[in-house]
Structure formats: structure tokens, C-alpha cells
Amino acid sequence: MINLLLFPVLIPFLFAAVLLLFPKKVKAQRIVTMIGLLFALASSFVLLYKVKVDGVQALTLGSWAPPFGITMVSDMLSALLVTSSLIIALFVVWYSFTSIGEEREKAFYYPAILFMLTGVNGAFTTGDIFNMFVFFEVLLMSSYVLIVLGGEKVQLKESIKYIIVNVVSSSLFVITVGYLYSVVGTLNMADISVKLAEVGPSGIVTVIAVLFLIVFGIKGGIFPLFFWLPGSYAAPPVPVLALFGALLTKVGVYAIMRTYTLFFTADIGYTHNLLMILSILTIVVGCIGALAYFDVKQIIIYNIVIAVGVILFGASVMNESGMMGSVFYLIHDILIKGALFLLIGIIIKITGTSDLRKMGGLMKRYPLLAWCYLIVAFGLAGIPPLSGFIGKLLIVQGGFEGELLWQSIFILASSLLVLLSAIRIFIYAFWGEEKGDHLISKKKYRHLLAPAITLAGITVLYGVGAEYLVPFMADATNVLLDPSIYVDAVFEGVK
């Protein structure tokens, strides 16, 4: 099973290609998509087990020895991320059956999701920096389709901006790869790591590091570069929003974590400090945004920005607790944002508006939804024993160990603001008098609630069962902190 690590990339791709053949048969589309996702998820679990038992897996395509051929590498971090992205996709697709509408389903909605998964999983798995650009383009191209699908006025207006921002950032990505190539003369990430270690700290490498931060920062939504995110993410319907919010920004975050631990470890004083300052500012701006809006979508979207800041802060301190906290929080955030968006989607479907001031009193008729939302909101804010707690605790612990007292206290304080912003939704939407029409039938409500509750259950399990996940997280942390494990795995067959 040497090709095992390609399965989560190739299975969605093959199923998407098959789905293109019969776009009008909605039932068949749904079934085939589900089968494909289940296959991919099963393969990713096998991969997870394999990586746990045998260590980092590397595959050189066409048996061209590294650094000449394209390498695919699956370490614990990427295996975990691939698994969680497939879980999210599974629930979003399940939720879409009742939510997205037949018109969109007939317009290649499911193939676009599967192609996007190909890009996301590919970007998580690739061991070649230019190949990462290609997979980024695959996921971006599918995200362009998803964001514009339906062709409403808002969608068209926002997707134009989304596309232009991403085209410019993709150009910058190629430019940066070009600079990197002129310095080290290779594209293989393991080889770059070795060569850059030989070059040592130098000005040009720092410039490349900052350029990479800008490129991935635009995708991930860090402080000065997140400006496109609130507008563009609010435009598409909720299942697409859930997919984007849970996955797309995390690809940028993963790329920053990967490049900043594997390549740019020579000048930590400058690059990682910059990353830390930006992540703190990201949290500040995210908190302001999350409290400023009365629109449920916008509140949760700004919570994505906060989470990106928290994860990158943990990564920037570069010690064991901080990094482990980052990995914990990264997976937590993928799951919890997915669950939150699905629940928010039900609220919007029931009330027909996303404005908090126009809703109220849902508690009486929809108690299950209310309690489920409350649990997820507590998980988001990090109330023990739910899933946000462990990650944030480790990140703050890492901050204290790295003697970043104020910054760590800041992270703790931001939890309170996150809780406040999430509870505001609860108070406005579920308490008070009943307002507005209830536009949804009982049957449809149950169909929408099932995937959301299951996903919320998974986030709870992730928090409560954290003890069983620690060995996995420790493996991921070890690879991040000690690049030689990664490098040795890639060059294993050569030496």
C-alpha cells in the first residue's frame, strides 16, 4: 500500500470526475458523493494508523529520487488535517441534502466540493513547494465555483473581489517560490530545509520568509490581510460558508506552520516575532469584529479570524507546549467552526434572517437546537472539558514557558470576548419573546439538525477524549519541532 497517502487526494478527484457525467440526477449525485467521501474517510483513517505505527510516510511519484521528483509526504499533522477535512466535508454534504436546493445541486455543486477536497488534501499532503501552489490553485478554482454558484447579486459582487485578491496572492506565491528557487535551487521541501540550514541566517531568506507570510496570510486571514474575508464569506449559502470557514483558512494556517517550522528557523528573532505580533493583532481585530456586528454570519466569521490568531500565536512561540496546543486547536477549530456554521444555518433557515435583532424566542419550540448551540459555543470559548480548552491551555502554557507573559494573558482574555460574542447570539436568538415567522417544516428541521448534532457530538468527544489523542498530537509536534524527522523520511530510500 505504498500509494496509501494519495488515496484521500485521489478518491475525491475520481468521484468528482464521475459525478460530472450526470449533473441532473440529484439522487444519484448525493449517493455517489456520500460513497466517495466515506471511502476517502476510511482511507484517511488507515493512513492515520499507518503514520502512527510506521512514522512519516513519503512517496516519490514516478520513483524519481528526491530532490528531483515530486514528493508527497504525510506526517502526523497532515494526516490529522486530512482526516478532519474529510469529516467536515461529510457533514456538510449531508447537511446540503436539505439545505442547498435542487437548483444548485444540479449545477455541479457536489463535484465542486469534491474537487475542493482534492485541493485541500493535496495541499496538506504535498512535499514540494511548487506542487503546493498547484494544489492551492485547485482548491481556489473550486472555491470560485462554490462561491458564485447560484449567481445572486451579492454573490457576484463579492466573488469578484475574492477572485481578484486570490489571483494577486497566487502571483505573489509564484514570485516567492521563484526567489526561493534562486537561493536554494530546489523545490523539494525537505531538500529546501537542508539547503536553507546550510545557508544560515541571511537577509534574502528573511525576505522570502516574510513574503511567504504575506501569501499564506492572505489565504489564512491574518491581521492586515483579512480584509476580504468577512465580505466574501458572507455571500454564499451556509453549507458553502461552513466548508470555507472550516477548511480554507486552515490551509493557509497549515502552510504558515509548515514553512515556518521546516524552512525559516534560522532567523527566529525576526520572523517568528513578526508572526507573533501579527497573530496578537489578528486576535484584537477579530474580537472587535465579533462584538461589533448584529449579523450572526459576521459574528462567527470574525471568530474564524480570532482562531487563526490563536493558532499562529502557539506556532510562533516554537516550544513543545505551544506547538502541541496549536495542533490541538487547529483540529478543534476545523470541527467546531463546521458545527457552529451548521447550527447558525438552521437558525437562519428558521427565522429567514441573519439579523440578531429580528429574531428571538426560539428556545420554546426548538430546545434541542438551543442546547446544542450552547454546548458548541462553550466549546468555542474553551470551557473545560470541551475541546477548545485543552488547546488554549497548552498554547498559554507555551507562552508562559517562552516568557511571553502579557501576550498569554491576552489570549486568555480573548476567550472571554469569544464567549461573550457567542452568548450574544444565544441571548438574542433563543431568549425573549417569539418574533418573526417560523419558516421551516418539522421534517426539514429534523433533517438539518441531524448532521449538526452529530458534528457537535464529535467536537465534545474530541474534548472529552483528548487523553487518547495526545500520542497523535505529540507525534505531530515532534515532526514540527524537529525537521530532521521529516527530512530523513523523505530521503530514506536515497541514502
Partner 1 sequence: MEILMSILIGFLFMAAVYLILSRSLIRIIIGTGLLSHGTHLLLLTMGGLGGESAPVLADGITDYADPLPQALILTAIVISFGVTAFSLVLAYRTYKVVGTDNMDLMKGNEDND
Q: How far is the CB of 167 from partner 1 (least distance, A)?
A: 5
CB of 234 to partner 1, least distance (A): 7
Cell numbers linked to 238: 451556509
Residue with smaller CB distance to partner 1, 345 or 398 = 345
Smallest gap from Cβ 119 to partner 1, in A, equals: 12
Buried b (16+ CB within 10 A) or exposed e, 394-420: bbbbbbeebebeebbebbeebbebbbe
Cα gap 218→215, rounded to integer Å: 5
Closest C-alpha among 110, 227, 250 to residue 158: 227
Cis-peptide into 385, omega within 30 deg:
yes
| Shortest Cβ 168–partner 1 spacing (Å) | 7
Sequence length of the chain is: 495
Q: Which is nearer to partner 1, 184 or 370 (CB)?
A: 184
Judge contact between 431 and 361, C-beta under 8 A: yes
- Which of residues 140 and 330 has its CB atom nearest to partner 1 in the complex? 140
CA 106 – CA 23 distance, rounded (Å): 5
Q: How far is the CB of 341 from partner 1 (least distance, A)?
A: 17
Amino acid, res. 420: L
Q: Identify which of residues 88 and 229 has a Cβ nearer to partner 1 in the complex.
A: 229
- How many angstroms separate the first and last alpha carbons of the chain? 22
In whole angstroms, the minimum distance from the beta carbon of 298 to partner 1 comes to 7
Question: CB-wise, 43 or 155, nearer to partner 1?
Answer: 155
- Residue 68 vs 431, nearer CB to partner 1: 68
Cell of 166: 486570490
Q: Which amino acid is present at 386? A: L
Q: Amino acid letter at 211?
A: L
If DSSP codes are grouped into helix, strand and coil, which group holds residue 127? coil
| Cβ distance to partner 1 smaller for residue 236 or 325 | 236
Cβ proximity to partner 1, 136 vs 491, nearer residue: 136
Closest distance between partner 1 and the C-beta of residue 134, in Å?
6
Binding site for partner 1 (CB under 8 A): 130, 133-134, 137, 140-141, 144, 148, 151, 153-154, 156-161, 163-164, 167-168, 170-171, 174-175, 177-179, 181-182, 187, 231, 234-235, 293, 295, 298, 354-355
Query: 272: helix, coil or strand?
Result: helix
Estimate the share of the chain in helix, then strand, then coil, as percent rounded to the nearest 5. Answer: 80, 5, 20
Integer Cα distance of 347 and 11 in angstroms: 34
CB of 172 to partner 1, least distance (A): 8
